[in-house]
Each structure stands twice: as C-alpha cells, then as structure tokens.
Amino acid sequence: MSTLYPKLNDFIQQANIIDALPFPKRNTIDFYKTLKRALSINLKMFGHYSARKAALSSFDYVITAKDSNDQPRADEARSRLNSSILTVIDNQLKAIAF
C-alpha cells in the first residue's frame, strides 16, 4: 500500500470488506479519510469530482400539484423539503465520487 493512498486493488478489497459487515459494525472513518486524501493529492480526481459537483448542483427541481387546489400544499412541501433535497443531491455526489 502506498503511503499516499492505496492501489486500486487494495482500495476495492477494503471497500468489499466494509460492505460485507452489518451496518452497526462498519467503521468507515479510515476509508473516507483515504478518499479525501486522494482528492487532495490527485488533481485529476479532484477535477472530476468538482465537475460532477457543478453538474449536479446546476439541476433545479419543481414540486407542483396535480390539481391547482393543492398548490398551497405543494408550496409547503417544497419549503419543507428544500434543505433535504439539497442534502440528497450533495450525498449523491459523494456516493458517486466515493
């Protein structure tokens, strides 16, 4: 294993070991530290990450009601879900990148 970050085979093996464990026993701290280190060292990888982040964050969403009588409820749903939707988009980016 490299001192900067592991070879691809080592990294995939580490990911498979973590994936095989049940959720309460998973310790992904070192795994994510490796990923963050790779982004800070490998500028090409960071460029791919940044481009995908820009692409995902450029999408807009609209919550509309099927019936115009339900539009106030649709507006309320958008207001309540706005931060959650942004979090889902951000986490989707991390899932793809990592």
Question: What is the C-alpha separation between 94 and 22, in angstroms, rounded?
Answer: 21
Percent of the chain predicted with pLDDT > 70: 90
Q: Give pLDDT tens digits for 24-59.
A: 888 888 877 877 787 888 888 888 888 888 887 787
Integer Cα distance of 97 and 50 in angstroms: 10
Structure confidence at residue 82 (pLDDT): 83
Q: Is the pLDDT of residue 67 over 60?
A: yes
**Can you give the pTM of this predicted structure?**
0.53
Contact, 9 vs 75, CB < 8 A?
no
Looking at residue 63, what is its pLDDT? Answer: 83
